[in-house]
Amino acid sequence: MVVFAGQGDARRSMALLWRSARSASVRTGPGPKPGLDVDAIVDAGIAVADEQGMAALSMRAVGARLRRTAMALYTYVPSKSELVDLMHDRVLAELPTAYGTDAGWRAAVTAWADDVWAFYLRHPWVLQVSQARPVLGPGEYAQLETVVRILGGVGLDPLRLRRVIAVLFQFVRGMARVAAEHRQAAPETGVPDEEWWAERSALLAEVAPDFAERFPALAELEARATRAAGTGAEAEPGGVESYMEQEALEAFRVGLKVLLDGIEAAVAGGSEAH
């Protein structure tokens, strides 16, 4: 399921996103003032999405959580489209915005990436909000500002720096999506990972007995990786819910290191973007 941000009325959406603290409760429609405000509605929407997923999000569901009708919410938030924008931007405020660079920019980027990874696993519905059309709210810009502050002084030219930051954001998001989907697979399908893999691995050996001959490089890699894992070559991370989520976490860690190595090499070489 993909949800595109910015589908509501542009002026009203942007006004709600960028409202000041003094105008946080300003209504968007006429009528008597109910005991609600925009923040309460957004918080309720986040709670629904966290607990039931994006597919369950509706103005009716949010209203039910607040013990109000959907019509009562429209006084403050024009539609579900604006609500999604507000939820997405609000929940980003959980993320830290200050990372010290005393230990170097690599350590700061790694800490940021770890925080964003954990954030996506707490709120997997955020991964369903497409980045094709960003929300353009203060929460999004605060995260961009955070990474620009970390990397702004490393010595990359502006165009390359902008592209490197885009890669970092999409890398963390993409790997977190894999981990989140591994976490969701068993409860949503009713089939545990171990059972799913055991059944299909046995069938693969049955229907493709020549697998190693057809895909020799892959078979060799898997054999070597299995031996390395058996000797403890891979660290055993904590805080994961399944073997496949653990594998996604390890891929995230390795991939991030490779990306940072590349940034470091670009800085050392003084290469220019083309």
CA separation, residue 127 to residues 31, 124, 181 (Å):
36, 6, 10
**Structure-block tokens of residue 5:** 């941000």
**Low-confidence spans in the chain with pLDDT less than 70:** 20-34, 231-241, 271-274
Look up the pTM and report it.
0.87
What is the residue type of 214? R
Residues paired with 42 in a beta bridge: none
Burial class (CB in 10 A: 0-12, 13-18, 19+), 101: middle
What pLDDT sits at residue 1? 83
Pairwise CA distance, residues 211 & 229, whole Å: 22
Residues 99/112, Cβ–Cβ less than 8 Å? yes
Pairwise CA distance, residues 90 & 20, whole Å: 13
What pLDDT sits at residue 143? 96
What pLDDT sits at residue 21? 43
CA separation, residue 167 to residues 21, 147, 154, 228 (Å):
33, 12, 16, 30
- H helix and E strand count, the chain: 12, 0
What pLDDT sits at residue 232? 53
What pLDDT sits at residue 22? 41
Residues paired with 129 in a beta bridge: 3
Pairwise CA distance, residues 137 & 14, whole Å: 7
What pLDDT sits at residue 226? 87
What pLDDT sits at residue 34? 52
Task: Please choose, from the candidates 31, 147, 35, 106, the residue with its C-alpha nearest in 3D space to the C-alpha of residue 256.
Answer: 106
Pairwise CA distance, residues 128 & 4, whole Å: 8
Residues 6+ apart with CB under 8 A from 21: none
Cβ atoms within 10 Å of 235's Cβ, excluding its own: 10
